[in-house]
Amino acid sequence: MNILLELKHLKHVSLPTRPVICKGLVIVIVLIVLRAIVSPFLAGNSSEKEGFYDSASADLVPGVRRDKFIEVPQIIWGLNNQKIAFARACLTARFLNRSLLMPSLSASLFYKEVDLLRPITFDKVFDFAKFNARCQGFVRLARYSEVSNQTKPFKLQKGSGRRWTVEKDLDQLLQYRRGEAEDSEVIEIIGKHPFLWPDHWPVKDYAKIFDCLALVPEIETEVVKVISKIREAGVKARHDAGLSHNKHAKDGTINPPVPYIAVHMRIEKDWMMHCKKWEQRSNSNEICSSKEEIIHKVSQISDLRRPVVVYLAVADSLLEDDSITSGWRVGMVAFEKKRLGVTDIYNRQPYLIKSAIDFEVCARADVFVGNSFSTFSNLVVLSRTQRLYNMGEASSCGENVGLSCYAYNVIGDDGGPQRWMTDMSDTSLQNLSYGTNNVSCH
């Protein structure tokens, strides 16, 4: 009908103009016909995507709705499991084009005694306003005060068990993306907590969420105190060695901060027992590392001139073991919380905050060395990789790239620890959540 009206309208158009309009009309008709022919071939069955979520398609959604919400169960376990769970909840809300109601995290670390978990709201750890500002247009956090309660929450039960596959989970999300839950103001997801939900999202989307996280000022102040103590120890080590720190940075800064290495040292008894069994099951010898092996690997890193401070991020159970700071090679001065004199900063904080401080101390180090089967180490490396990508660096293989990372449990080509960057093309977070020895600097 519209085409007929256009043709009728042409009768009233002057002769010089009519050929131009006719050509334009023909082009429009051809494009419509081509689209009708090609579209069926481009369309695919979502259940055949094996759970992979094409984030590019969601970018077409104009922002995130502020009047529809997702509510998730309390997020539990270790800091980095909680960060993954939070990001997964955010990306699920994004997929459903809803805001995520600010979830409760867990301040304490209990795996079985759920009644001992200490809930702590997201905005007591991370800056709510900064998160929304940094992630604007991608995901959105909402406060419960924004809910009008005009409709009852729609309860979405997450499936469980081996029969609940990634494909079934994605089909469920697609069903409620446009189905019966559409009219409900809040979709309340019940059942398993988000870390255990099937994963549909690519690494780069998780990286974007993590990049939006900023600690609240009170905790950020503590991070700065710890890092200042580390750098002061570095200045003293150089002074004692008769070396001057007078120098210029690449950006022209005079006397830039003294660099330091951070090592995430996994040598606790429970970890060693767990990883030895892991090695037996996977027929691999690149998961566990003893203290001596870690020292040997770290001593082979030549990124920084010596003497250099080595900050050891270790479990509290190891703080009474003075031997962890001994045995290091000449020019490598090892410190942990106790020797550094910052135990008071950590002792007044609950588990979650302690871990958040240590995470930032490692993430901001000049060189980071960790275990590629540790979730903590993997997320530190992801954070540093994202920063390199933000600076236009897609590889850390070259000299003086900065933000170097190494896996001490994997032997590199030169016999030292393997250089390490996160593979940002991964279609899921599987390798980061559970570990891999397939790491490189690309």
Average pLDDT score over the chain: 84
Dihedral sign from CA coordinates of 235, 302, 386, 141 = negative
Give the C-alpha separation, 105 to 113, whole Å. Answer: 15
pLDDT value for 60: 40
Check: CB of residue 260 under 8 Å from CB of residue 365. Answer: yes
How sure is the predictor about 116, in pLDDT bands with cuts at 50, 70 and 90? low
Check residue 247 and give its pLDDT: 57
pLDDT cut 70: percent of the chain above it = 81
Specify the pTM. 0.83
Q: What's the confidence (pLDDT) of residue 382?
A: 97
Q: Pairing mode, if any, of strands 308-313 and 99-101? A: unpaired
Question: ω into residue 153 within 30 of 0, thus cis?
Answer: no
* Per-residue pLDDT, 318: 74
Q: Calculate mean pLDDT across residues 221-225.
A: 98
Summarize the confidence of residues 63-83 as an average pLDDT.
Answer: 93
Per-residue pLDDT of 277-323, as tens digits, reads 999 998 888 899 999 999 999 999 988 888 999 999 998 777 777 78
How high is the pLDDT of residue 2?
43
Q: Are 290 and 297 in contact (CB under 8 A)?
A: no
CA dist 61 and 137 (Å) reads 9
| Mean pLDDT, residues 331-357 taken together | 95
For residue 163, report the phi and psi dihedrals to the nearest 5 degrees: -75, -15
* β-strand partners of 69: 99, 186
Which of 19-23, 48-52, 125-129 holds the top average pLDDT?
A: 125-129
